[in-house]
Amino acid sequence: MKTSASESLMTSLQEAIRLAQDVHQHSQAHEAFEAIYGELEAINPDLAEMMQMLWKDYVAAQRSASFWQELCQVEKHLSERIAESHLQLKQNYLRLMREQ
C-alpha cells in the first residue's frame, strides 16, 4: 500500500515530467525535480542519486526530441518552398516557350 508521502512524490514527479516535455518549461521542471530530490535524499540518498541520473537523461532526451522535431519542421517547410519554386520555374518556362 502506498503512503501519502510516496503518492505525493509520485504526483510531483508526474508534474515535473509533464513540465519537462516542453523545452520552454525546463527551468520550472528542474525546480519541481529539485524539490522531489530534496525529499527523496532525506529518505534514501542512493535512490535520490539514481533518480537524478535518470532525470538528467530524461531531460536530455526531451531536448533531443524537441531539436529533431524542429529540424523536421524546418526540412518540411524547405521542401515545400523548393516544390513551389520548382512549379513556378516550370510555369515560367512553359510561358516562355509559348511566347516564342
Give tens-digit pLDDT for 17-73. Answer: 999 999 899 999 999 999 999 999 999 999 999 999 999 999 999 999 999 999 999
pTM for this model (two decimals): 0.75
pLDDT at 11 over 70: yes
42 close to 25: Cβ distance less than 8 angstroms = no
What φ, ψ does residue 27 adopt, rounded to 5°?
-65, -40
The closest alpha carbon to 26, from 50, 70, 59, 71, belongs to 59
Question: Any idea where the domains of the chain sit in the sequence?
Answer: 4-99
Q: What angle do CA 26, 31, 32 make, to 5 degrees?
A: 95
* pLDDT of the residue at 1: 46
